[in-house]
Amino acid sequence: MAISTSPDVLAAHLSGEAVLLNLNDKSYYRLNETAALVWSGLERGESVDDILAALLSRYAVGADQALEEMNRVIDDMKSRNLLIDSANR
C-alpha cells in the first residue's frame, strides 16, 4: 500500500525541520530532522524504500534501526491524519 501526504496538510520546511498544519482540525506539528526527511520524501511521492535509503545514507544507523524509526514516524503521522492511502487521493 502506497502512502502520501494528506492534501489537508500544509507544510513549511525550515533548516532541516518542518512545520505542519492540519487544516481539518487546526493542529500544528513541528517535525525534527528525521521526521522532516520522511515527510519530504512522501511529499515528493517517493516510496518507503527510497526514504529508507535516504535515511541510511544520511545517518550512521543500521538498516533495522532506521526502518523501525521510519515506521514509527509514519504510524504516528497516520494516527494524526497527516498521511493517507495514495489510492484515496
Return the CATH number at 44: 3.90.930
Q: Alpha-carbon distance 62 to 88, whole Å? A: 33
* Range of the structural domain that residue 72 is part of: 3-83
- Has residue 59 been placed in a domain? yes
**Over the stretch 30-76, which tens digit does the pLDDT of each residue have?**
999 999 999 999 999 999 999 999 999 999 999 999 999 999 999 99
State residue 2 phi and psi, 5-degree precision.
Answer: -85, 145
Crossing angle of helices 33-43 and 63-79, in 10° steps, is 70
Taking 70 as the threshold, does the pLDDT of residue 89 lie above it?
no
- Has residue 89 been placed in a domain? no
